[in-house]
Amino acid sequence: MGASGLGSGLANCINLSNLTLNLDFNQIGDEGASGLGSGLANCINLSNLTLDLNENQIGDEGASGLGSGLANCINLSNLTLNLERNKIGDKGASGLGSGLANCINLSNLTLNLQKNKIGDEGASGLGSGLANCINLSN
């Protein structure tokens, strides 16, 4: 079950407004990250989210799944997302960007994607998505 099970539990927390999850140094892969994303998609009242997923096994599918989930978090204003030292490539970064594009109320963003496999195409896709976040100030 793992992280997907956690996502299933989060799906029931529709009134949640603040969430901090530190899942560093685990073995979360694409399935787990996508499951977390699916759960977060139901947390429509979430305004503050810190998600630490440093040193896991998340690839393009997982990053895109997280992005898809975050796309439903339209009330999100503060997001810290640490995906350092995973296996995310161009498609994953672009998928994450596509999801974040819907977070139009986002004002504070900290995004750590160090030590992944993201190239020019992925950086461009991420940037295109973030361009829609017109309220970003930090």
Decide if 71 is inside a domain. yes
pLDDT (0 to 100) of residue 104: 95
Count: domains in the chain: 1
Question: Cβ–Cβ contacts within 10 Å for residue 27, how many?
Answer: 10
Decide if 137 is inside a domain. no
Decide if 45 is inside a domain. yes
Res 2 pLDDT > 90: no
- The 10s digit of each residue's pLDDT in 29-85 is 999 999 999 999 999 999 999 999 999 999 999 999 999 999 999 999 999 999 999
Decide if 103 is inside a domain. yes
Q: What integer best gives the mean pLDDT of the chain?
A: 97
- The 10s digit of each residue's pLDDT in 78-131 is 999 999 999 999 999 999 999 999 999 999 999 999 999 999 999 999 999 999
Decide if 114 is inside a domain. yes
CATH label of the domain that carries residue 21: 3.80.10.10
Domain span at residue 97 reads: 2-130
Q: What share of the chain has pLDDT > 90, as a percent?
A: 97
pLDDT (0 to 100) of residue 110: 98
Question: CA–CA distance from 121 to each of 6, 25, 99, 108 (Å)?
Answer: 32, 27, 16, 24
Decide if 138 is inside a domain. no
Whole-structure pTM value: 0.96
Instruction: Compute the distance between CA of residue 76 and CA of residue 56 in angstroms, rounded to an integer.
Output: 24
Instruction: Compute the distance between CA of residue 122 and CA of residue 106 in angstroms, rounded to an integer.
Output: 21
Question: CA–CA distance from 8 to each of 13, 69, 84, 106 (Å)?
Answer: 10, 12, 24, 25
Decide if 135 is inside a domain. no
Instruction: Compute the distance between CA of residue 50 and CA of residue 61 in angstroms, rounded to an integer.
Output: 20
pLDDT (0 to 100) of residue 86: 99
Decide if 136 is inside a domain. no
